[in-house]
Amino acid sequence: MSHVHIWWIRRDIRLKDNQTLQAAMKNAENLIPLFILEPELMEAAAPKRRAFILNALKDLDVQLRDLGSRLIVRQGPAKRAFADLKEDFPDFAIFAHEDFSPFARERDAEIKESYHLSLHPGVVLRHPTSVLKDDGDPYIVYTPYKNKWYEEPLPNPGDLLPIPDTLPPLPENIETMELPMAEQVASFPATTAEAQARFSDFLEDGIQRYKSERDRMDLDGTSQLSPYLRFGLLSIREAFTKAQVALMQTKKDQERKEMRTWMNELIWREFYTTILYHFPHVMDGPFRKEYADIPWREDATDLEAWQNGQTGYPVVDACMRQLLEMGWMHNRGRMIVASFLTKDLLINWQAGEAWFMNNLVDGDPAANNGGWQWTAGTGTDAAPYFRIFNPILQGKKYDPEGEFIATWVPELKNLPKEFRHEPWEMDDETAQKYDFKLGRDYPQQIVDHFFARDRTLEAYKSARESG
């Protein structure tokens, strides 16, 4: 076996608890920490997601240099990048985190045809083939999947790998290219130190209230760790293990419920990865074939209003503007805006899925697809098609004082709190007092919710009957 080992960095931009790095270091005379700028991924990535990746790599390079190494960057596609390396290093072995998207699986199969590629765990805790029904079929409902997931041995703190003290040296005279310049994503500094700090803060003062506060958009009730888990600045094993330790250390039943809810969210992430692995057709259409022929509306004006937070529904607009500014959206908000697009506007969930992927820093294909199909009612273990969120009631319930709306829809900030969710309910005297005019200062509603609800129920019923 070759003693030149390549650590092919993909969704593991870290040194701590990196099973792939540990494997690549073993028996290596030389180690090449390699990132390939794959055009299929980098050019299609949302600008903020691309910037996050590039800045995370620059942070990793600093850490590698402290250990006497450095990041080697090559231009993709991957097959071409390895062919170029082979000219200088005829014999090498490649080590990488196993990934499960259709693109990743096809790419890795192609690389394996010509090179020794060793794939290692780390993207998820359970391989998509390891949590199956007794008959060997994959689960398509979350709760039994979760129950089976917990039956397998859980990782423990002793499994976590430290940052190496040293690394095998780079081969002599190896060439690299400079990483493209990228501005920092203000909401998500792309460093492993930031990932660790956020996670530590959440464990200390956050996870204990997660179940109670996670849906409140006006509170800081979520971990906001999704970009760091998505690209491996924080390992999923460390996240789950340390949450499990916190769970075991508390004697308060309510705190245990709060913590368990967050841990179960990590398992939702694994569930959707498993669905994508076994049912890759979900990337091209509905999981549930009976909804393949929903008569979606193709209305570019309504779609654009939704994309830009100009629907006339304050909570929807607040969420969509948060996405544009931060490259992230509160999870409750993701459900609200997805329901509005698919059920109020009757626009295909795939348009929303694509818009999210064009803007999200975390942008995980499996989770994004799973979330959109869940809300649209077309996916596995999905919300029933007749579950249609009332955006006004959702806003009042999860942003009761309208503070979230005031933050992201500043044209409503100075209104009395009771009108932030329904500015159209102000009488003329109140509107004059606050110099507010609907249609001038804030858009009119682009659709009547109750009309839209009836329209959607009829459209889904039609699709089910024709299917």
Q: CA 257 to CA 259: how far, in whole Å?
A: 6
Q: CA 49 to CA 182: how far, in whole Å?
A: 10
Residue given tokens 């209230």 in the structure block: 209
> Could you give phi then psi for residue 32, rounded to 5 degrees?
-110, 105
Check residue 2 and give its pLDDT. Answer: 65
Nearest CA to 449 out of 371, 346, 330, 374 is that of 346
To the query of whether residue 7 is one of the catalytic residues in this protein, the response is no
- The catalytic position among 110, 194, 268, 403 is 268
What 8-state DSSP symbol labels residue 425? G
Record the pTM: 0.96
Do residues 319 and 333 lie in contact, with contact meaning Cβ atoms separated by under 8 Å?
yes
User: Hey, which bits of 196-318 come out as E strands?
Assistant: none
- The catalytic position among 355, 372, 374, 408 is 372
- The catalytic position among 194, 296, 358, 422 is 296
Torsion angle in degrees (nearest 10) through CA of 311, 313, 318, 324: -20
Nearest CA to 309 out of 299, 301, 319 is that of 319
- The catalytic position among 349, 355, 374, 408 is 349
Do residues 420 and 314 lie in contact, with contact meaning Cβ atoms separated by under 8 Å?
yes
Q: CA 87 to CA 411: how far, in whole Å?
A: 60
To the query of whether residue 268 is one of the catalytic residues in this protein, the response is yes
Do residues 25 and 168 lie in contact, with contact meaning Cβ atoms separated by under 8 Å?
yes
To the query of whether residue 374 is one of the catalytic residues in this protein, the response is no
- The catalytic position among 331, 390, 403, 422 is 331
What stretches of 180-251 show up as alpha helix (H) in DSSP? Answer: 192-204, 210-213, 226-230, 236-249
pLDDT per residue rounded down to tens, the chain (467 residues)? 468 999 999 999 999 999 999 999 999 999 999 999 999 889 889 999 999 999 999 999 999 999 999 999 999 999 999 999 999 999 999 999 999 999 999 999 999 999 999 999 999 999 999 999 999 999 999 999 999 999 999 999 999 999 999 999 999 999 999 999 999 999 999 999 999 999 999 999 999 999 999 999 999 999 999 999 999 999 999 999 999 999 999 999 999 999 999 999 999 999 999 999 999 999 999 999 999 999 999 999 999 999 999 999 999 999 999 999 999 999 999 999 999 999 999 999 999 999 999 999 999 999 999 999 999 999 998 778 888 999 999 999 999 999 999 999 999 999 999 999 999 999 999 999 999 999 999 999 999 999 999 999 999 999 988 76
Going from the N-terminus, what domains does the chain have, and what CATH number goes with each? 4-123 (3.40.50.620), 125-160+192-278 (1.25.40.80), 289-466 (1.10.579.10)
Nearest CA to 399 out of 335, 340, 312, 332 is that of 332
Check residue 3 and give its pLDDT. Answer: 86
What 8-state DSSP symbol labels residue 442? B
Check residue 41 and give its pLDDT. Answer: 87
